[in-house]
Amino acid sequence: MQQQINRPQMVRISKIEVETPHIKTFHFNLPQIKDTATPGQFLMIWIPKVDEIPISISEVEPDLAISVKNLGEATGALHSMVTGDRFGVRGPYGNGFAIKGEAPLIVGGGIGMAPFPFLIRELQKKPRKITIISGARTKNEVLYENKLQKFSKKGLKIIITTDDGSLGEKGYASTIATRYLQTEHYDHVYTCGPEPMIQDLFEATEKLKIPMQASLERFMKCGVGLCGQCCLDPLGYRTCLEGPVFHSEILRKISDFGKYRRDPSGQKIFL
C-alpha cells in the first residue's frame, strides 16, 4: 500500500540523448528506483503544470533512463526540457519481463524498443544466444542504432527492418520475425510495439509453440490499479498492475488483445 500512495520525487535531468527526430532519452538519478526496478516495469513521469504519463524504464546503468517519443502535450513538454531541468517520478510499477530462454528472440517496433536495453543487459548476465529485431518505418526512426551496434560487437545478432527498406531488411518487423521463427531456433520471444505487430507475432509463436512475453500499451491514469482505466476484457486485468507484460497463456484469454483499446473516457475503440 505504501507504493500506491507515493508522491512524485523530483529529479534533475543529467543527460539528454537525441535518438531520432522524434525520440529523446532522458537520464537521471534515483537510487531507490534503480535498485529495485526490473526490466519491463514503468515509471509515472510528472511534468509540473502539464500532466503525468507512464514511461517504460529503458536503462538503470549507470543511471536511470527513459526514452520518450514526442506525441502530445506531455511528451512535447518533456522534449522541450534541457539538462538540469526537473520532473517528478514515482514507481517502479507493473509486472515486468521474466528472464527466460537460452536462445531468445527480441522484437521491438519503433518506440517499442524502449524497454529492451534494460532487458538485454539482464539476459546477458549468463551466456545466451540473443537475437534482436528492431523495426521502424524508415531509417531515421530506428531507435538505439548506436546501442544495437555495441550489442552486435558483443556477439548478439542484430536485425534491423524498415517498412520502406531504407535500412536493413524491407518489411514489417513481425513479418520478418515470423520468417526467422520458421527457419531459426528460438526458445522464447519478447516483444513490445504496435499491438497489431504483437498480435501477428503472437499468432506465429502459437503455431510454433514458442512461449512469448508481450508488453502491451493502454491508456493509464493512476498507474497503480485503482482507476480501472487500463482494464482488459474479459479478465479485468489491469495493464498497470497485472501487466504491462503478459505471457502467452494470458494473451490467449484477452478478448481485447489486438482488437480494441480504450480512449481517455473509457470507451472502446478499434485498434
Note the pLDDT tens digit of each residue in 66-107: 999 999 999 999 999 999 999 999 999 999 999 999 999 999
Q: Are residues 140 and 238 in the same domain?
A: yes
What pLDDT is recorded for position 4? 46
**What is the distance between the alpha carbons of residues 134 and 145, in angstroms, rounded to a whole number?**
9
Q: Give the burial string for 17-34 (b: 16+ CB within 10 Å, else e).
A: eebbebbbbbbbebeebb
Output the CA–CA distances (angstroms, integers) from residue 116 to 2, 13, 132, in the order listed: 28, 21, 9
* % of residues, the chain, pLDDT over 70: 98
Tens-place pLDDT, residues 110-135: 999 999 999 999 999 999 999 999 99
Which residue range(s) make up the domain with 15?
3-93
User: Pairing mode, if any, of strands 260-262 and 86-93?
Assistant: unpaired
Average pLDDT, the chain: 93
Domain boundary among 55, 70, 93: 93
Q: Which of 37, 58, 93 is the last residue of a domain?
A: 93
- Same structural domain, 63 and 14: yes
Whether 98 maps to a domain, the answer reads no
**DSSP element (H, E) containing 32:** helix 31-34
229 and 253 in a single domain? The answer is: yes
Cell of 268: 472502446
End-of-domain residue from the set 40, 58, 93: 93
pLDDT in tens, 132-175: 999 999 999 999 999 999 999 999 999 999 999 999 999 999 99
Owner of C-alpha cell 531509417: 139
Residues 115 and 37 in one domain: no
The answer to whether residues 109 and 89 belong to one domain is no
Residue 99, in any domain of the structure = no
Q: How far apart are the first and last CA of the chain?
A: 34
pTM above 0.85, yes or no: yes
Whether residue 132 is found in the same domain as residue 88: no
Here the CATH number for the domain that contains residue 85 is 2.40.30.10
pLDDT of residue 1 exceeding 80, the answer is no
